[in-house]
Structure 1
């Protein structure tokens, strides 16, 4: 192996360790998984959430390294996408709950009494942004 190849391996490994450590610290310090189980009232199944995050992270790393083509039916991909989107949405909701993002944002932009309007704007923005991304970038 050349010195350049060894440097690339070292930088890739070091970068992965830094990002992985940051991800674990993010989940641990903020208590995302316990808060997610509290919101969904599934505290007894916390181990499934933890293993889901671990398996998802490892699968994501492997998928990004290999760029797999699964060749699955759309009928299988629809529920898979819905469950993945639900998990990401619930994790984002738990994160905003932990950090009190919504009340702080509403006070800063002067919408103290209109949190429902702010939430609807966020939800509709997410929906329309996802539809735009899907229509423009996926089917373009």
Structure 2
């Protein structure tokens, strides 16, 4: 009995510590790279700063809850497609902001000597992402 309680307490401390480490890394990622401020600047929605902050906090809390809770909802296909579209938009904007902040593609194209083919590189990445997402959706989700 006491042994199980001690093991559960150790698991609780390790899980909480891991969560703090991941959370601190996420906050550092968002803060240091300026992802959300850059998204706000690009979309010219400086007046909605409180909405962005609340959305990030609410999204993190809900994501954490749904990761650990055994919750399932029977949703129609159109709701799932809309939800997937919103996830794709978020991930795409986050990736675009990250690459813009770090200037990844111009540096990459100069390093490997394909300056004239930057548009083709970007289109290959976009279409590869679309094809991978469609494959994942039709093969694994169905």
Name structure 2 gaps, 5 residues minimum.
Answer: none
> Structure 2: how far apart are the matches of 1:62 and 1:98?
30
1:83 paired to 2:75: no
Larger mean CA deviation between 76-85 and 22-31 belongs to 76-85
Aligned length: 139
Say whether 1:3 aligns with 2:2: no
1:94 to 94, 97, 118: 97
The 5 A counterparts of 1:2-21 are 2-21=5-24
- Distance between the aligned counterparts of 1:9 and 1:102, measured in 2? 42
What TM-score results when the alignment is normalised by the length of structure 2? 0.90
TM-score (norm 1): 0.92
Instruction: Give the secondary-structure state (helix, strand or coil) at the position aligned to 1:13.
Output: helix
The separation in 1 between residues aligned to 2:78 and 2:140, in whole angstroms, is 21
Larger Rg: 2
Question: Which deviations, in whole Å up to 9, do the C-alpha atoms of 1:49-106 show, x marking residues without a partner?
Answer: 2211111111111111013212122222322322222122111111110011111111
CA distance in 1, matches of 2:98, 2:25: 15
Are the equivalent residues in 2 in contact too, given 1:32–1:91 (CA < 8 A)?
Answer: yes
SS in 1 for 2:116: coil
Structure 1: which 5+ runs fail to align?
Answer: none
Aligned-pair RMSD on alpha carbons? 1.4
Aligned to 2:115: 112
8 and 123 in structure 1: CA distance in 2 versus 1, 3 angstrom threshold: same
Q: Which residue of 2 is the match for residue 63 of structure 1?
A: 66
